[in-house]
Amino acid sequence: MTRHHRTDELVRALSGVNSFPVTPFDARGGLDLDRLAEHVDHQVRHGATSVFPACGTGEFAALSPGECRDVVEQTVRTVAGRLPVIAGVGINLSVAREQLASFEQAGVDGVLLLPPYLAPGDPEALADYYRGVITATDLPVLLYVRPEAPLDADALLRLCEHANVLGVKDGSGDAERLSRLAGALGEERVVVNGMPTAELSAAAFRGLGVGGYSSAVYNFVPDIAMAFRQAATDLDGARQEQILEAFYRPFGALRDRRRGYAVSLVKAGVSALLGSVGAPRAPLPAADDRTTRALIDLVEKARAEIGSDSER
């Protein structure tokens, strides 16, 4: 299928609020593709600039290759060209190459290249993995860098010399590397803030020249997410601080109660506020009732303080 968006459009989109939808499961733990379509449509209609199906928040590592394909195909159908769709690929070189062929047929606009499973400590071997995927496709590729799979700025800049590389999504927060990347890549490439609850570090990243970010909470409170983005766009520091204090910092404390809650608590929020998307798959823990109730109370209080519109 033909891509809906040019590469320059992708770079602009990635400089905004990027949606990483959860993957809904039914009562038996299987994919709920109808619910996925509802949720993705909701994400598209509330201000996001791109959609990333079957990535970290979408439990990429818990999906079979066939399930990843089904999620991506359903997302492309649902989005229908309204926003760029960038699908996650990875695990290992063989799987990533198979996913590339499948997702290209599905009509994605690009791919997010996740680090390999059990990433090697050797930077050259890791760079070979990234290069092996980049050169296997003409699709635009966004490189995802995480603490467990580090590459220095020089290695990343060499990878970005490939014509189909969009840039880097950074999940490590290495300020020196970020500053070098943002300064060297110019306007034809992009660096995306991929930290957990990225709004908490958005001001620091913006100071390094990185404006776009992934927003997990956009899944269930798009009104709050977009209010924060508007404040950032307006350079309204007081408004940003108000929203951080009312919602994001308390949410971060709830998220940190248990490992895995960066995804599990987002799914709990969607289920509680927008309709069930099922429990996360093992090894992610389901959010407990006490924390889920605290999350609901937090959202209600934050909306009252912020004055955001919770209309679906």
Q: Which of 139, 218, 140, 191 is nearest to 14 (CA)?
A: 191
**What is the C-alpha to C-alpha distance for residues 185 and 9, in angstroms, rounded to an integer?**
16
**What is the C-alpha to C-alpha distance for residues 6 and 140, in angstroms, rounded to an integer?**
9
In one-letter notation, the amino acid at residue 269 is G
* Active-site residue identified among 117, 129, 130, 144: 144
Q: 3-class DSSP state for residue 191?
A: strand
- In contact, 280 and 263? CB cutoff 8 Å: yes
Phi, psi of 192 (to 5 degrees): -115, 135
* Active-site residue identified among 129, 130, 169, 248: 169
Burial class from Cβ neighbours inside 10 Å (0-12, 13-18, 19+) for residue 94 reads exposed
Could you confirm whether 169 is annotated as catalytic? yes
Q: Which of 228, 224, 158, 157 is nearest to 211 (CA)?
A: 228
Residue that has been written with the tokens 């709920």 in this structure: 32
Secondary structure E strands in the chain: 17-19, 50-51, 86-91, 110-116, 141-145, 165-170, 190-193, 212-215
DSSP assignment of 123-148: HHHHHHHHHHHHTT-SS-EEEEEBTT
As annotated, the active-site residues are 144, 169
